[in-house]
Amino acid sequence: MGFRKRKRVPFRSAAELDAMAAAGAVVGSALVAVRDAAKVGVSTLDLDEVAETVIREAGAVPSFKGYNGFPGSICSSVNDVVVHGIPSADVVLAEGDLVSIDCGAILDGWHGDSAWTFGVGELSQADADLSEATRLSMEAGIAAMVDGARLTDISHAIELGTRAAEKKFNRPFGIVDGYGGHGIGREMHMDPFLANEGEPGKGPLLVIGSTLAIEPMLTLGTVDTTVLEDDWTVVTDDGSRAAHWEHTVAVTADGPRILTPRPH
C-alpha cells in the first residue's frame, strides 16, 4: 500500500517570497496613504483614488479592481460594514467613524493583500478596543505560522487571541461567521480557506515558503452578517461595529515573515 504525501499549504521559493514582499510593500504604502487621507468630510471614493494612484505609480495593478466585477481598488468598510464595502462619493467620513480598508496589488504577477482598521478623529473606547482586539488576534495567527504546523493551528491561535482580548478589554467580541483568510500567490484567493476559529491539528501542513493571508474580523456584537443588494457589502445583522485586520504572511526557517510591510 502506498503512502500519500501529506497535503501541504502551497509554498514558494525564497526569491518568490521576495517578489511577493515587493507587491506587499506597495499595498502597505497604499494603506498608509489612505489612512493619512482619511479625514472628516473625505469620501471613501476619494480614498480609493489615493490607493489606486499609489499602486499604479509603483508600477503595480490594483488586484481588487474588476475582481468579479468589483469597481474599486480598495474595500472601504465603515462602522457596521464588516468587509467588501464599495468606495462611494456618498459615503463621507465623520468624526468617530471606524474605518476598515482592505487593499491588494499585483506586481510582476505576484499578489499582496492586507487590511487594517482605524478611526476618523477620536474613537469611542469600545471601537478602539475592537480594532486592537482584531489586530491582536491577527498577531496571534501570524505567530502560529511556523514550519510543521497544521492549517487549523492558525485558526485556533486566532480564536485564542480573540478570547485573550476579551479578557484584556473586559468585553465580548463576535468572530464573524463564514469569513476568513486564504492562500495567496499568483492569484489573490487560493486554497486553502483559513477559518478564524476552530480546533487545532487539522488540515494541510505548513512548510517553509507556505503563504497565507491571515485576516480576522471581529464585531462588538453578533457573529451573523448579511450581504446587501449590491452583492458585495457585508454588514452586521445587529448594526454593531466591525473591525478587520489582515497581513499576507510566509513561513520561513526564521519564523513568520510579513509580506505586506507598511512604511513607518
Distance, CA of 14 to CA of 251 (rounded, Å) = 10
Residue type, 44: T
Q: Contact 80/239 with Cβ under 8 angstroms?
A: yes
Has this prediction a pTM greater than 0.95?
yes
56-99 tens-digit pLDDT: 999 999 999 999 999 999 999 999 999 999 999 999 999 999 99
CB atoms within 10 A of CB 148: 10
Q: Which of 106, 128, 108 is nearest to 118 (CA)?
A: 128
- E-assigned strands of 31-156? 61-62, 74-78, 81-83, 98-107, 110-119
Residue 247 known to bind ligand = no
DSSP 8-state assignment for residue 66? T
pLDDT greater than 60 at residue 204: yes
Residue 182 known to bind ligand = yes
Residue 84 known to bind ligand = yes
Residue 113 known to bind ligand = yes
Determine the pLDDT at residue 1: 45
Mean pLDDT over the full length of the chain: 97
Report the chain's C-alpha Rg in angstroms.
18
119-176 tens-digit pLDDT: 999 999 999 999 999 999 999 999 999 999 999 999 999 999 999 999 999 999 999 9
5 pLDDT band, cuts 50/70/90, is low
Q: Contact 21/252 with Cβ under 8 angstroms?
A: no
pLDDT greater than 70 at residue 2: no
28 pLDDT band, cuts 50/70/90, is very high
Work out the percent of the chain whose per-residue pLDDT is above 70: 98
Residue 139 known to bind ligand = no
Residue 254 known to bind ligand = no
226-235 tens-digit pLDDT: 999 999 999 9
Determine the pLDDT at residue 264: 78
Distance, CA of 78 to CA of 92 (rounded, Å) = 10
Determine the pLDDT at residue 121: 95
Show the cell assigned to 122. 477620536
- Please give the domain boundaries of the chain with CATH numbers for all domains: 14-258 (3.90.230.10)
Residue 197 known to bind ligand = no
Provide mean pLDDT across the span 34-57: 98
SS3 85: coil
